[in-house]
Amino acid sequence: MGRILRVFDFDDTLAKSVAYIYVKHKDGKETTLSPSQYAKYKPKRGDEFDFRDFNSMLNNPQVIKKNFKLLQQMLKNPNKKVTILTARALGFPIRKFFKDEYGLDVYPVTLASNNPKDKADWIEKHISKGYTDIAFMDDSLKNVRAVQQLQRKYPDVRIKSVLAVEHLTSSQKKKLIENHIEELSKTYL
């Protein structure tokens, strides 16, 4: 029987915390972006990004209930490998938060990279280790797509790549759906 892998992103998928990305622009000015603004930000020449908030203890973390419950349930099943896969560079603050607040033992895998390919590569490595039933959840559409792409290469592996939307407001969800429909219609032109 194939092995089962369940993978969760951390920020804005399992929990929200107060953290910004600082952008130092060519002219020396510094601005801040929320993670969702950063996801859509088109870098300009000379921009330098500083992720210091993601390398320290979590600031006012709150679990996203629906997805966190799913994580708790899955951790009870010894037949499933359950992993938190994060672009962060430090796993300790995440581990400490889940341990102290919920008594959960989790070891986050840190990529220190927000390149979607790095998440997909990590999943692919597990396919080569014999995992044939994989589910992945992330609030970044780019990450979700990168992982879903693996399905073409591995048609016999069950890959379910899910966009986490629980952290969005209803108007943000509406906008997301509208954008998606618009994009789909473009592919038919």
Regarding 124 and contact with Mg ion (CB under 5 A), the answer is: no
62 near 98, Cβ under 8 Å? no
Task: Specify the residue, 9 or 124, whose C-beta has the smaller distance to Mg ion.
Answer: 9
Task: Specify the residue, 114 or 157, whose C-beta has the smaller distance to Mg ion.
Answer: 114
CB-based contacts of 152: which residues, under 8 Å, 6+ apart?
none
Q: Closest approach of Cβ 9 to Mg ion, in Å?
A: 4
Q: How far apart are CA 158 and CA 133, in angstroms?
A: 5
Q: Closest approach of Cβ 39 to Mg ion, in Å?
A: 8
* Closest listed residue to residue 135, CA positions, set 156, 155, 161: 161
Q: Closest approach of Cβ 10 to Mg ion, in Å?
A: 7
Scanning 70-78, 111-119, 131-139, 154-162 for contacts with Mg ion by CB under 5 A, the matching segment is: 131-139
Query: Which position among 139, 147, 157, 161 is part of the footprint of Mg ion (CB under 5 A)?
Result: 139
Strands 15-16 and 109-110: unpaired
Question: In 3-state terms, the chain is what percent helix, strand and coil (to 5)?
Answer: 40, 25, 35
**Residues lying near Mg ion in the complex (CB under 5 A):** 9, 11-12, 139
